[in-house]
Amino acid sequence: MARKIIIDTDPGQDDAVALLMALASPDELDVVGVVAVAGNVPLERTVRNARQILELAGRRDVPLYAGCSRPMRRTLVTAEHVHGPTGLDGPELPAPTLAVRQRHGVAFLIDTLRAAAPGEITLVTLGPLTDIAMALVEAPDIRTGIAELVMISGSFSEGGNITPSAGFNDYVDPEAVDVVLKSGLRITMVPMDVTHQCRSTPARLSALEASGTRCARAAAAMLRFSEHFDLAKYGWDGAPLHDPCAVAFVLRPDLFAGRRVNVEVELTGTYTAGMTVVDWWGVTDRPANVTFLREVDVPAFYDLLAERLARLP
């Protein structure tokens, strides 16, 4: 039986590729719904981008909801400097016609998780954690329905990509990260320690689009656009590919390795707001609350991604 998942996302080119990967895996993943949150670009754009990706994949059956338009307590920070004005620059995609469901994304999360059997649904978060945190604050009882939360978040050895110390998702809404880390949920954190290893070199991008499907071609075009910022910043042979790593972990956890540790998020630091403090060496007595990944089989990850994209139209 396919594992039931809800994807909360702020597309973003790498979010889009992660969505495509999940939608291409119906035998393993039953995508119960997608919730768009403000992050890489404002909410209006993330909703539109999610609509376009669902249509691109031929999956108009997947319900889409609009979530929170701003962080819990802070002014929204966006990343058009990476993703372009639309958040999905690169391929030419048609204007979407898919209808967005009327319920707020947080209400959808609460209602769906309350109705779920114990441990029935896995949450996969690709953007800021605002929607998840708001749902947990409004309805703490929904924890019963959650099997696991797999999130693109955190950094131990890689510093930050939006400030010197913080990753983008954590910096946008650190208060939401704090709520989630203190929730008692089973959490797997997919940090930059992993995603920085998964670099989309020219050869890997060519392999992704080799099937010639419209989704594979669009995915490669998206990543070729968004890579310019990271290639200039890091000077590597390819840009790191973040969000598909979370979907890959749900599909193939054997490709990854890490350990159970305590992770906290900095809320008030002058220079460190959004920084994840990872107690990798167990130097505090704080209880472990996260499985923190640090290793990945990179060739196998890209083989999996290419194989799944080739399944789509």
Query: Active-site residues: which are they?
Result: 242
Mention every residue, 6+ apart, whose C-beta is less than 8 A from residue 143: 136, 183, 184, 185
Mention every residue, 6+ apart, whose C-beta is less than 8 A from residue 226: 13, 14, 82, 83, 84, 89, 90, 239
Show the beta-strand stretches assigned E in the chain. Answer: 3-9, 29-36, 64-66, 121-125, 146-152, 187-190, 199-200, 239-240, 256-261, 263-265, 276-278, 290-296
- Phi then psi dihedrals of residue 68, to 5 deg: -80, 140
CA–CA dist 305, 278 (Å, integer): 29
From first CA to last CA, the distance across the chain in angstroms is 24
CA–CA dist 129, 107 (Å, integer): 15
Token pair recorded at residue 310: 């080739």
In the numeric block, the tokens 């220079």 are attached to: 271
Asked if 54 contacts 62 with a C-beta cutoff of 8 angstroms, the reply is yes
Torsion angle in degrees (nearest 10) through CA of 7, 206, 233, 48: -40
Mention every residue, 6+ apart, whose C-beta is less than 8 A from residue 152: 125, 126, 127, 169, 190, 195, 242, 243, 245, 246
Angle at 284 between CA 129 and CA 193, to 5 degrees: 45
Q: How far is CA 158 from CA 197, 251, 254, 276, in A?
A: 10, 25, 23, 11
Instruction: Return the bridge partners of 8, or none.
Output: 35, 125
